[in-house]
A and B are shown apart, each in its own frame.
Chain A
Amino acid sequence: MRMLLVLCILAAQTLAAEETTWTSYGGGHNSWRYSELAEINDSNVAMLTPQWIYQTNAGRLQAVPLIIDGVMYATGSENAAFAIDLLTGQELWRYSQTLPPGTMGCCGTPNRGFAVSGDRLFKVNYEGTLVALDIHTGDVVWETFVADYKVGYSLTVAPQVVKDKVIIGNAGAEFGTRGFVDAYSVTTGERIWRFHTTAGPESPPEHRKTWSGDSWKRGGGSTWVTGSYDPELNLVYWGTGNPGPDMVGDVRLGDNLYTCSLVAIDADTGKLRWHYQFTPHDVWDYDAAEDLPLVDLNINGKTVKAVIQANRNGLFYALDRATGELLVAKPYTEVTWMTGMDDKGRPIRADDKAPTHEGNVVCPGLPGGHNWWPTTYSPGTGLYYFSSRGGCQTYFRRDAPYVEGQWYQLGHTRNVPDEELEGSVIAIDPATGDIQWEYKTTQPPVGGFLTTAGNLLFVGDRNGYFIAFDAKTGKVLWNFQTGGRSVTAGAVTYRFRGKQYVAVAAGSSIMAFALP
């Protein structure tokens, strides 16, 4: 009888596994971008072949596609979104909303994808709204105002669904805006809570005091990459961006909490549980918006529930995700803005590294180190994989008053002449911060990161290549020229009709691969 039951369960599992899903930006609350699928593996990946290509005509894509019941859902630039048939790659419906004139931003109008709850998809629109779409038709179910594009806010993030809430963050720190993490009702679109990422009147006084005068009002701290969630602790983890103005610190003296930080927020109330600031009083644009995988680490023989990040400031970090205690902080590239950590886990700043009118060389440069580029953690290898841009930059400051709705970076950077631009794929042991292997490229690989139980690491680079590595050793096993200028989004994998696929957005197209 028991045997029969086991067989029934096994049969049910096999049936259920006939098709698998991919339902969030990070491939789950833990942001691993890892799949147990292993039909495509290190022994056969060399035969991987494109099955279809869908041309979105919607700018350069940064979206992680979602896979649900035979359909792929993805978003593009300029508020576009689409549903695509998994069998043929054909468009099933398309959503678009014309951008109003006068939106502002640094870098085009990208969008990093959908979140889903039941039969509703959620996406942000660039001009500052959050929309819920009917998953079957693409019809708008509700649309909610989030933030005003006229003062410099824009929205690019893939939302995060936590229980009955849609959680999002903002972009626009370069325009003197004030960052936030917001939660909205999946049912009605009403806002349930907002957590401000610059400490203001509603924050504890000791946090508020980390800003001179009223500089917190224009203090930046954008939250433009999707966070993680720990259901047991009921905490959402979001990384915050640079303070504003980016390269002039004199007008915002103090640490400038909670910019360049990791904030752990109660998912029900939006209240701050703990924070850790990676770069106090940043003047180098070292956003901490990067991915925040939740990983249980073995440190000194003890298992610690950790949250990890390859930060833009050049260091890899691991923190206790219940308390915020610093566990690991180690450079993965050349770092000159700091010289080490003090006893309290606070970086010791190097002297004379602030941007100047004449220019000051600092490492890493403005793009990082690592940037927002999607990352992956494999429980199979126990390694964390991310990309890094090597080299330094010269930082210049510029002095100007704040004007509402105008560019407020107050500085710029230049590459160092004669310094060769390089990038690398880094595989790091998250319990120690030690680099296990590194693969050098001519440009930083900026997307496509995904690991599978087939001992594979997928990576997309800035020359348009989609590459499969042996996840253990870093050996290149397969590559494909996508024809896109770069592969900038995270890749996904799924089983459809009993066959494993890998899909990725490259340039303005989405392509699906499988074994012949």
Chain B
Amino acid sequence: MTGTGGRGGPPLQAQCTAWIAAPEALEPDPVSRGNANYLAPLTLRVFRSMLRDVPKLLMFFLFAGAALAQNEPHVGAEVNNPFGNDPQAVAAGAKLFQAHCAACHGTKGEGGSGPDLSRGIFAVGDRDADLQQIVTRGRDVMPGFRRTLEEDEIWQVISFMRSLAGLNLGTVTGDAAAGANLFWGKGGCGNCHRVGLQGGGAGPNLTQIGVRRGVTSLRNSIIDPDAELPRGYAVVTAVTMDGKTVQGIEIRHDAFSAQFRDLANNYYSFLRSEVKEMSRSEKSLMPSYKGVFSEKEIDDLVAYMAGLGRGEKR
């Protein structure tokens, strides 16, 4: 019997979120498994084999968003927006969008700390059902709106989002190739940021940044890194008993201790009781490049970053 070590762990269903609690996901009895068909329903199986066998398709979906897998149980569900492109629904959706979405996606949907919605392609999938799912349940830092908005209101927001399709409000003017040169060359961005297998260091991974942020936000992050400090990049400073100051990016920070790593990825862990001072700030360790790079160089860099994640496997 391979892969053994006794029956492992508590039943899967106790730890799975609701959407995966399909019978085939549950841990089977090891003997009865042999007699049952544990494969997913046909549609799902075909879809999965497409994913596996057609790398280009896979890349497209990956570019479109890492949350694809989470939506698989909805594949085949035919849920459509009852309002379609009804002008009244678009107008109602525009108002709701200003109230609930603009802070992250921009007042026109051009993107901000959240993705640009005016390209007509969506990281989570392009069908009405995909959009309903993400607005309803949220994902990563985006909250779900199922307790904030009525079902009809969610569809109205989606009608509005659809009306933006193809406007490409977040168009970039820079030269992406020149931006790449700057990023990997004299700009030194790759010392702290990783893109795919290249680069590294302490800063955020930018492999998918082009589909996660709008261009305004990308520009801001270069000229004013403190403005939209990404979650997990606060700074912890400790002064040791012998007066040495150690500073790095926060991993944890609590009443008794703090853990952080500096820009060279050295790891530190201190008890409060063993240091002279310990503090936390939301000021980024990344310097502002305003005045360091020319306006054109910043445009080029934004153009390069806006293209990251489009068609690239993570």
Residues of A whose CB lies within 8 Å of any CB of B are 57-60, 62, 69-71, 77-78, 85-88, 90-93, 98-102, 104-110, 119, 134, 136-137, 139-143, 145, 148, 150, 154, 156, 171-174, 187-188, 220, 222, 224, 241-242, 246, 285, 287, 289, 366, 371-373, 405-409, 412, 446, 486, 488, 508
Name the residue on B nearest A241 (C-beta): B2
- A88-B5 contact given A101-B25, A137-B205, CB 8 Å threshold: no
Partner of B251, one of A93, A134, A285: A93
Name the residue on B nearest A408 (C-beta): B34
- A142-B197 contact given A87-B257, A136-B265, A150-B39, CB 8 Å threshold: yes
Name the residue on A nearest B39 (C-beta): A102
Name the residue on A nearest B260 (C-beta): A92
Q: Is the CB of A488 within 8 A of B40?
A: no
Instruction: Give every chain B residue within 8 A of A98 (Cβ-Cβ).
Output: 16, 20, 69-70
Instruction: Give every chain B residue within 8 A of A285 (Cβ-Cβ).
Output: 1
Q: Is the CB of B8 within 8 A of A107?
A: yes
Q: Is the CB of A90 within 8 A of B257?
A: yes
Q: Is the CB of B5 within 8 A of A488?
A: yes
Partner of A85, one of B16, B33, B52, B259: B259
Residue among B2, B3, B70, B251 with the highest chain A CB neighbour number at 10 A? B2
- Measured in the bound complex, the distance between the Cα atoms of B48 and A285 in whole Å is 33
Question: Is B267 among interface residues, defined by CB-CB distance under 8 A?
Answer: yes
Q: Is the CB of A92 within 8 A of B2?
A: no
Name the residue on B nearest A221 (C-beta): B2
Instruction: Give every chain B residue within 8 A of A119 (Cβ-Cβ).
Output: 200, 265
Q: Is the CB of A60 within 8 A of B9?
A: yes
Instruction: Give every chain B residue within 8 A of A412 (Cβ-Cβ).
Output: 31
Q: Is the CB of B194 within 8 A of A134?
A: yes
Q: Is the CB of B39 within 8 A of A407?
A: no
Instruction: Give every chain A residue within 8 A of B314 (Cβ-Cβ).
Output: 140, 143
- Measured in the bound complex, the distance between the Cα atoms of B37 and A407 in whole Å is 10
- Measured in the bound complex, the distance between the Cα atoms of B72 and A98 in whole Å is 12
Instruction: Give every chain A residue within 8 A of B24 (Cβ-Cβ).
Output: 101-102
Question: Is B6 among interface residues, defined by CB-CB distance under 8 A?
Answer: yes
- B263 → chain A closest CB, angstroms: 11
13 A–B contacts from the bound complex (CB under 8 Å): A69-B267, A87-B271, A101-B22, A101-B25, A106-B4, A107-B3, A119-B265, A140-B314, A141-B197, A171-B3, A373-B5, A407-B34, A412-B31
Question: Is B12 among interface residues, defined by CB-CB distance under 8 A?
Answer: yes
Instruction: Give every chain B residue within 8 A of A110 (Cβ-Cβ).
Output: 3, 5, 8-9
Instruction: Give every chain B residue within 8 A of A446 (Cβ-Cβ).
Output: 5-6
- A370 → chain B closest CB, angstroms: 13
By Cβ-Cβ distance, the 5 closest A-B pairs, closest first, are A108-B8, A407-B34, A59-B9, A171-B3, A222-B2
Q: Is the CB of A86 within 8 A of B269?
A: yes
- Measured in the bound complex, the distance between the Cα atoms of B205 and A477 in whole Å is 49
Question: Is B27 among interface residues, defined by CB-CB distance under 8 A?
Answer: yes
Partner of B252, one of A70, A92, A372: A92
Residue among B5, B25, B48, B52 with the highest chain A CB neighbour number at 10 A? B5
Against A, the Cβ 8 Å flags (1 = close, 0 = not) of B12-52 are 10011000101011010011011100111000110010001
Q: Is the CB of B38 within 8 A of A102?
A: yes
Partner of A92, one of B8, B34, B251: B251
Instruction: Give every chain A residue within 8 A of B52 (Cβ-Cβ).
Output: 145, 148
Question: Is B76 among interface residues, defined by CB-CB distance under 8 A?
Answer: no
Instruction: Give every chain A residue within 8 A of B267 (Cβ-Cβ).
Output: 69-71, 136
- Measured in the bound complex, the distance between the Cα atoms of B174 and A168 in whole Å is 45
Q: Is the CB of A246 within 8 A of B257?
A: no
